[in-house]
Amino acid sequence: MESCFRLSFFLILISRQYMSLQKLLEENKSVILSRWFNSIVETYPADTRQFLRSKKNQFDNPVTHRISSGIEGIFSQILNKDKEKDVSPFLDKVIRVRAVQDFAPSQAVAFIFDLKRLVREELGEPIRQGELLKEFHRFEEEIDKMGLLALDIYMKCREEIYELRVNEVKRSVSRLVERANKICGIPEKEGDPEVCSTDN
């Protein structure tokens, strides 16, 4: 009986020694995602942090839902061996939220690179024991590529926001001109808005 127990324990040690990094990430997915979410939340002011942690329901707290589903999709894509699949939609979920807030570009996409630190802290020992440093370096390279893609997405989101604001200003000016013309009794002329003169 004791010899069987020793053999089973030995087999477990052997299997862990040769466990791939992907397997380690899969086994620790929930812990890593939880820490990743919390690290993102910590970048916000205290009152916002409390709100983001309060509910994760899609309808009660859509921002938290977008962040949670976004990072889960990113992580699943990292584990996915099919590299042809596009990670952009998942990056967009998180970055679009941060693009409308008061973050510098480097701050907005820093959460991607933070994943390397979290995995290193959580799985550093088994990575070293299992001689998985080469795999981990390839993992870090994948994260770096995602970081560059995240920056592209952020800049695109900022351009869209800028265009929306410019269009809103144009609409506001147009409404003001129309109102001024009505007050002055000036008929509308297409392409040639006028305002009444204040001169006596």
DSSP string computed for 54-123: H---TTT-HHHHHHHHHHHHHHHHHH-S-TTS--HHHHHHHHHHHHTSS--HHHHHHHHHHHHHHHHHHH
Residue 91 pLDDT greater than 80, yes or no? yes
Place of tokens 């808005």: 193
Q: From the CB of residue 74, how many other CB atoms can be counted at a distance below 10 Å?
A: 23
CA distance linking residue 10 with residue 92, whole number of Å: 45
CA distance linking residue 181 with residue 194, whole number of Å: 6
Residue 180 pLDDT greater than 80, yes or no? no
**Inter-CA distances, 157 with 2, 75, 101, 153, 162, Å:** 63, 22, 11, 6, 9
Angle, CA of 107, 52 and 33, to the nearest 5°:
70
The number of helices, as runs of H, and strands, as runs of E, in the chain is 8, 0
Q: How much is the pTM?
A: 0.71
What lies within 8 Å, CB to CB, of 144 at 6+ separation is 113
CA-closest candidate to residue 89, choices 77, 81, 101:
77
**What pLDDT score was predicted for residue 27?**
93
Of 199 and 120, the structure prediction assigns the larger pLDDT to: 120
**What pLDDT score was predicted for residue 130?**
75
Of 199 and 36, the structure prediction assigns the larger pLDDT to: 36
pLDDT band at 102 (very low <50, low <70, confident <90, very high): confident
